[in-house]
Structures are given as C-alpha cells and as structure tokens.
Structure 1
Amino acid sequence: MRPQRPRRSPQVALSRDQITATALALADSEGVDAVTMRQVAARLGCGTMSLYRHVRTKDELFDLMADAAMGEEDRPAHPSGDWREDLGRLAHAKRAVMLRHPWLASLLAGRPVLGPNVLASTELALSAVSELGLSMDEMVRVINTLHAFVNGFVQTELEERAWRHPAGTGAEGGAEGPWQDRMLPYLQHLMDSGQYPFFTRMVNEAEPHPDTDESFAWQLRRVLDGLSAGLPG
C-alpha cells in the first residue's frame, strides 16, 4: 500500500487589504526596512508566492501602506470656505498620521503615491485654494509649500524623538543625557570665548525643550501668513 499523502495545510484566505494592514503593522512595530514579502507572509501564515496574487511588487505594497495610513487623516469631506482653516487642519492631520506611523514621512518624501486616500487629501487641499485667483501652477506651489513644511518638521521631530529615546535604553536622552554630558565642556568653551554672543544668549535664554505642538502651530501660522502675503490683490 502506498503511504497516505500528508494533508495540505488549509489555505489562508487573503485580500489586498489584509496584506496591507499586516505590512503596516509590521512597519509600525519593527520599521519599514523589516517589511519584506517573506516577513509579511510569515505573519499571515501563508507562502510568500501567495502574496503576489494580490500585490505585484514590494514597491506596490509600500504604496498601499502609505495610502492606507493616509486614510487615517482626520479631514473634512468638503472645504469650509476658509482656506487657512482648511490647510491648517490638513497640516495638523497629516502630522498626526506621520507621528503615528514614523516610517511614513520618508516613504511619502521619496515616492509619488496616487492611492484614493492621498488623492482625496490632494483634492481637498487644491479645492480649498481654488477661489484665491491663482493659476493651477500657483495652487500646486501653495500645496507643495505646505507639504514641505509638514514633512520637514515631522522628520526633524522624529529624529529628535529617536535621539531623546535611544532604542533599547528605556531612558530619555536630551539635556541630561550622555551626549549633552560629553558636549557640555565644549559648549562652555564656546560661550566663554566671547565669539558667539547670540549663540550664548540662545543657550542661556531660550527654552531648551519647547513644546513641539506649540512650535508646530506657531510655525504653521507663519507659513500660512507668508502664503497669504503672496495672494493676488
């Protein structure tokens, strides 16, 4: 008698949304570099080749992840009629999503994503400035200026967060951390030299750990002020 064939393990039912959600969770927990088709398949309990029936490449998976994350953006369905209010709300919403998913900032900065959620955000932003008497090129520049500010602020914020909370230490760095301890004699030397009076004032007078929410809101208002100054009329 022939030996009985081993039973095949039941196939895992897959969908593109399920694959995307799994990859997004993997990026959140281990970083975007950990997202490979093999690792995603392992989390789903299926073979790697099964994923390719739904997602053709890892780049496509990254696009799906970025668009899914942007779907969490808290944005209104329609413009309010106040372009500053609308762009400000979009900026705060985008920052919140990018802080929730630290890998998203670099992913959006390095690739054009044209998924439905990203397009909905873009459509809302362009619609918000559509009555300002601007050409389409000028409207795009306004939106790109806003995105550049948000992306740059968040990337700096994330890098500072990583510096203050080094991986695996469980402790905060910052002003009381080892880096500052090593730099303190040099900083004191610079201030004592008398060559950098404004730097010395900054060290002595400026808030060493400004509230990032307040800083973001203040800088955003200045960006919107600058955009407003360039409007027709």
Structure 2
Amino acid sequence: MYATAFRPGPIEEEPVAARPPAEEIIWMRPDRSRPAPRAALSREQIAAAALAVADAEGVDAVTMRRIARELGSGTMSLYRHVRTKDEVIDLIVDAALGEEDRPAGPSGDWRADLHRLAEAKRAVMLRHPWLARAAAGRPALGPNALASTEYALAALAGRGLAMEEAARVINTLNAFVTGFVQTEVEEAAWRRPPEEEGDGGGGDWRERTLPYLQQVLDSGRFPHFTRLVNEAEPYPDTGEAFAWQLRRVLDGLAAAVPE
C-alpha cells in the first residue's frame, strides 16, 4: 500500500523478446464478462464473492473452488477472469479500498486531508479485519488504491516537496495506520472486557496471564511497568488512542512539509 510501490524505476528500452507479455497483471487485462443471454461472470462478481468469504471466514478461506461454489459456477470458469488466488486477493484488497470515505479532492489543508484519509483507511480496515494484513507490503496498483494515493499526493502538491519526499510522507502515514489496525484487530480477538465477551470470549487469557503478571508485579524488578499496570486504563478506547497517535504522527510529518 505504499507510494513507492508505484514507481518501477527508470524505463529503459528492452529487446521485444525480453519484454513480458503486455497483459501480465490483472489491471491490464479487460474484464471478460460474458454477454447476455449466457450466464454472466465478471471480475466484479468474483471480487464481491471473494470479499464476502474473506469477511466471514478470513482471507485464508478464499480459494478458487470456494468462490466458484459461492457463484454457482465451475472453477474453470473463473480462470477466464483471474489466473491465480493472488490476483483474487489483489481484487478484494482494491474493492475494500474503494470504500474509503474521502472527499473528491483535497481541501488545501494537507494535514486535515491526510488526517481524514487515515481515519477513512482505519474504518475500512476495521470493517474488513483481514485487510491490514493482506494489504501490507502489497503493490497497490488497482484503480481504488491509485485514487487513494492520488488524493494523498494532491493534498501535498504545491508545497515544494520532491516526489520522493511526498512518497515518504504518505508511506509513513500508511505504515502507522496499517500497523495500528493490525494490532487493534489482533487484540480485539482476545482482549475484551468481561461484559463484552459472551460465550466465546477471551476470558481464558486472563486466567492464564494473571498469575504470571502478579508474579512479575510482586518481584519489584519492573517498577515502571508496575505503575503502568496499576494506573493505566485496562481497556483503552482504541479510537481515542488512534486519534492521539495520528496527531503525533502528523506533528512529526509537519516538520517535513513546508507551509
């Protein structure tokens, strides 16, 4: 999801025989939907079915066979549109990123624009808990990912930043959001107040951890950690924590963005 992933490096002329086929990646290939009246399958339908499976069961449950079953289609029919599971993941990552709630264009206040973009990314990643892990480090070349990056670059345009510096600003913001949400999602699976746990809660982690934690506190070896345990909120508001940390990230980035 990083801006530097968009730059392939200097383009040099190669012998025609050495060049890869022109349709190597999915975004370069046309969507081969079947015209009516034959049963239609489209790239969009495949993405929607795969997205539903990922949301319900996790991205590891997304397989060609499972998507075909969800669509009532033969597995081989999918290969008209996608060649591999990795291409399916590209599709659903981009489909999810298309849900970002951001303005059509920047406001002129780069900090407010990037703040809103970060919040929009977090909201989408929480809606699709698999997304932060699946998107991390993946080249973001789909149309929705490109639109998101274009928005961020436009927010920074005209401020005297070299494109490499603008990319670093965006990458720093993306790394913060992705890392925060990955931790937030994983912790949500086990660290919940007792009243929110229900039948399948994470109370067992307390039963396993509390005896050890009490032993650590009683040892006197970690006075600052002991104070943290005794004084900090045991179930902090993650939204509030995200907002606080995001402000600090933007404070730091402000030093690199000329006013």
CA distance in 1, matches of 2:191, 2:215: 24
| Kept in 2: contact 1:12–1:45 (CA 8 A) | no
Paired residues for 1:178-189 under 5 Å:
178-189=204-215
Which residue type is aligned with residue 49 of structure 2?
T
Give the ranges of 4+ consecutive aligned residues of structure 1 lying more than 6 Å apart after TM superposition. none
- What is aligned with 2:201? 172
Secondary structure of residue in 1 paired with 2:189:
helix
Q: In 1, Cα distance between the equivalents of 2:185 and 2:151?
A: 27
The percent of aligned pairs where both chains have the same amino acid is 71
Alpha-carbon separation, structure 1, partners of 2:172 and 2:73: 43
Comparing 56-65 with 44-53, greater Cα deviation is found at 56-65
Instruction: Find 2:184's aligned residue among 143, 150, 157.
Output: 157
C-alpha displacement at 1:103, in angstroms? Answer: 1.2
Q: For residue 105 of structure 2, give the secondary structure of its aligned residue in structure 1.
A: coil
1:15 aligns to 2:5 (yes or no): no
Shift in Å, 1:86? 0.4
Match of 1:196 in 2: 222
Displacement of 1:178 after TM fit? Answer: 2.1
Alignment gaps of 5+ in structure 2: 1-36
What residue in structure 2 maps to residue 224 of structure 1? 250
Which TM-score applies when normalising by structure 1? 0.89
User: Larger C-alpha radius of gyration, 1 or 2?
Assistant: 1
Partner of 2:88: 61
* Equivalent of residue 93 in structure 1, options 120, 128, 132: 120
Q: How many residues align?
A: 219
Higher relative contact order (CA 8 A, sep 6+): 2
The 8 Å contact of residues 79 and 127 in structure 1, kept in 2 or not, is answered as: yes
Q: Is the 8 A contact 1:12 1:46 kept in 2?
A: no
Q: TM-score, normalised by structure 2?
A: 0.80
Q: Please list the CA deviations of residues 147-192 of structure 1 after superposition, one character each: whole Å capped at 9, or x if unmatched.
A: 0000000000010011237xx973332xxx2222222222222222
1:120 aligns with 2:147: yes
Contact 1:15 1:54 in 2 (8 A): yes
> What are the ranges of 5 or more consecutive residues in structure 1 without an aligned counterpart?
1-9
Give the letter aligned to residue 218 of structure 1: W
Instruction: Measure the CA separation in 1 of the matches of 2:119 and 2:241.
Output: 12
Please tell me whether the aligned partners of residues 11 and 46 of structure 1 are also in contact (alpha carbons under 8 angstroms): no
Q: CA RMSD in A?
A: 1.8
